[in-house]
Chain A
């Protein structure tokens, strides 16, 4: 590829301290990521696999900008990177509409974008008249659908997905996983993290395997 990478990771390491602030002893420091390097190119779908505890979630948090690495360098081209997170910031005592706005804003949408897409979000979530009721009165399925519909309409430059799964009941699972697959197959840059190599092989242009905090290839 001749394109410039949109994200470039070089020798990234992340450590957690076991006893908070006051521990400097090496045995209390745990390196979740030790040495990870790779580039992400515009428009591609990149898969990241690895076993439980290999450091996938930590890597996602780095890519989403939630935490910063303790060593190594990361170059992002100033694009909006968002982790597809469902029901982020939902408050049980707010109505469906208010939660759409709150969660949408937290995920990086502007008030204007949310107002424009509100009806589509409500239609996708298929909540009916309950949309003006506090979501504590919702069934689990309704809450899940509302969370998915809101996150679906967030349109970041780079989308991060932690395990591609359909959510909700059988019907909605089909609908939601079809929508995610559409996103993956589009021109959008997508990074998918999954413990299943089969899923990754199926969906991604390219994949990286993480083991013990290092990437193998």
Chain B
């Protein structure tokens, strides 16, 4: 009964946040599409013309990397600040603090789903065939979702104790972005570096999306399995930390 109440709250709060966000601008929810398009356009210009890469259909290749990356980045940024930014609310009413990061995970996932649908349309329109391999998309999303949840919950858990971490996080995410094989192929870097890059789960996940959407290949199952396993551990331990400090956060935030 109580869990049901909390799930309802997460769901309604996520919807409310999305609605409020859309109501803030004239173009409203169209920004969820326009904004990613603009940022991808910029990266496309920079990497395609100025830093000329020799990859065919670079626009599609780039989108397959950037779109999953944006899901990760915006969820982690948003979720990491979710507990701190609810400072005044948690002084007024008792709510379980897990609700805050879960709400931002949900709303960011919703936005990602819209863009993912557009990505698939773009891939198909560019002449890539649809294949049985598309059935692996939900599985790769599950692995990525778990990884996102793990990172987000841990960031949200420690952020109220370490406000300085927030400034560091921006730079960490930027470093991680350039090490995620979004703008280049993993195979294009020296072999020694490849192993290092693959230690970053986002590298493997992005290669997985490309395998499915562009190369009609199954993703690397054992790699995805390992990510899913480690991420679940991260997510569960992060949740436990938040649960442990559930009634401490209002005192320090």
Contact = CB atoms under 8 A, between A and B. Distances in A.
A88 interface: yes
B192 interface: no
Given A66-B247, A89-B89, A102-B13, A110 B8 contact: yes
Interface of A: 16-17, 20-21, 61, 64-68, 82-83, 85, 88-89, 91, 93-94, 98, 101-102, 105-108, 110-111, 134
B108 to A, nearest CB: 18
Interface string B7-39: 011001100110111011000000000000000
Contact of B23 (A89, A94, A102, A108): A94
Contact of A98 (B19, B91, B248): B19
User: Could you say which interface size class chain B belongs to?
Assistant: 20 to 34
Contacts, number: 71
A88 B162 contact: no
Contacts of A106: 9, 89, 93, 95
Q: Please list the 10 inter-chain residue pairs (A to B) with the smallest Cβ-Cβ separation, ordered nearest first.
A: A68-B247, A85-B92, A93-B20, A93-B23, A65-B94, A88-B92, A91-B20, A21-B161, A66-B94, A67-B247
Nearest to B23: A93
B106 interface: no
A66 B20 CA distance: 26
Interface of B: 5, 8-9, 12-13, 16-17, 19-21, 23-24, 89-95, 161-162, 247-248, 250-252
A82 B93 contact: yes
Given A64-B94, A110-B8, A91 B16 contact: yes
Contacts of A105: 8-9, 12-13
Nearest to A89: B89
Nearest to A91: B20
Nearest to B17: A91
